[in-house]
Structure 1
Amino acid sequence: MKKDQTFMPRRVLLTGAAAMGAAGTAGLFLTGCTDTAPARPGAPAAGPGGRAAVKSSTFRLQPLTGDGPPRAVPARTPVRVEPILRMSGTGRRMLLTFDDGPDRAYTPHILDTLAKYGVRATFFVCGEMARANRDLLARMADEGHVVGNHTWSHPLLTELSRARIRAEMERTSEAIEQGYGEHPRWFRAPYGAWNRAVFQLGSEMGMEPLAWTVDSLDWTEPGTRTIIDRIEHGAAPGVVVLSHDAGGDRSQSVSALRRYLPRLLDDGYHLTVPRRPYA
């Protein structure tokens, strides 16, 4: 059974973060051009609601308030006109990504399964959830996972002003820094809805836009078997799989991971985390 590389302790991960961000030529993300024209938003990919301790109306609609000035961020990235969709490079590499958490009811079980098989994943967290569960972000750092920005309250960004988009993204990056220990280098728009302002602001904050290739649609709670089938049938070199660890009842997502993960590994897939597509 193939496994991803051994987890790095958090202190090694954080001190080597800058080098890791620019390193590696295999498995780089290259899909997505750099221009200034707006991209067409994709179909919704995340369900409503939050973890048990945060009411859905609060999680999605809480007014924004300032938490102080933003911290220093990495150098500006290229401005894209579409999100990155898949990996390039050789080998049977795939990415597992989880949105909307961290949620204390489900995220620990997902982390336990990933740890059991020595696999790293990418978690696109919402700022309010991240602030309430900093210990889970610290665990993600300790176990070598990547944490990305998924906005503070999971709004439809294409309906917000530029100032509101910036606030959603900046507050979340600050929450990630406080719990994970470094600034996020990846961003995913809620519902897959991107526009020019989202790409430009993400670039200014040093984040690359990452979408997905295979949508498990687990947020619809279609049944564990259906989630497994969608991911196994969509498995292929370079794909990015979208699942959720919060935003509703994610027990099916937890159960599905326990079953499809060892099968993917037995099939020779190398489940890894994203690397920056530029030096």
Structure 2
Amino acid sequence: MTALTDTFTLSNGVLIPRIGFGTWQIPDGAPAYDSVTTALEAGYRHIDTASAYGNEQSVGRAIRDSGIPRDDIFVTTKLPAEIKDHDQAKASFEKTMSLLDVGPVDLYLIHAPWPWSDMGSDHRDGNIAVWKAMEEIYADGRSRSIGVSNFDVADLESLTDATEVVPHVNQIRWFVGNTQPDTTAYCTTWNILVEGYSPLATGAILDHPELTRIAAKYDRSVAQVCIRYLLEHDVLPLPKSTTPSRIVENADVDFEIEAQDLETLDSLVDTEA
């Protein structure tokens, strides 16, 4: 098995490839189509998009044009964070299904517990209403699993206390020096898979001296060490790039980080500073 073909098992038994290809900030049209096509050709079988990214149509077209059987590709997309109403959530999902045009999706997420324009605001009731819509989508088999993104412990608790299906996934910002230990521990307890977006801290940690030293030891790039770090902690990384060579490199992480080096990486904090 390799990092690209190995899987995690969600709490409902659905298998999810251990590395996903992220498409955040990749524009619709040729950039999204070409990068997803390159990723699929490189062996990725897990593609992550969102309504908010505005590229679902090109992502879906690349998946359909790939020639790879649909069942072999795990497709994630997300409900816009601004939607906190049951019926609006159902309508948004219909739009997403039409744009992607790949049949049922494999994972559907609430993109955030609050609108991006009002981060930290209280939308617990809205999230419960939206989650009940997602439970219906899940029960209908139109998404094989459902989850959340950017939820902390309090957000998760308010949801699980009032609904039936425990989220299968929580996709959060997770990288060396920013591992959200409380949220991660809660997810582990509830068997919620943690997915880590921005595993390279959007590039902010690529010049870190300790990471540079460890990468040299393994004859790997800093990016590869950062991505492998998530896998060593059973967190699913979602690297993203539009550069073909980096798309390939980011998936070439079939090595192990020794315990002492993991301890060093675990001790790093505020790597964005």
Q: Return the TM-score normalized by structure 1.
A: 0.48
Q: Max radius of gyration: which structure? A: 2
User: Comparing both chains, which one has the higher relative contact order based on Cα–Cα distances under 8 Å and sequence gaps of 6 or more?
Assistant: 1
Q: Return the TM-score normalized by structure 2.
A: 0.49
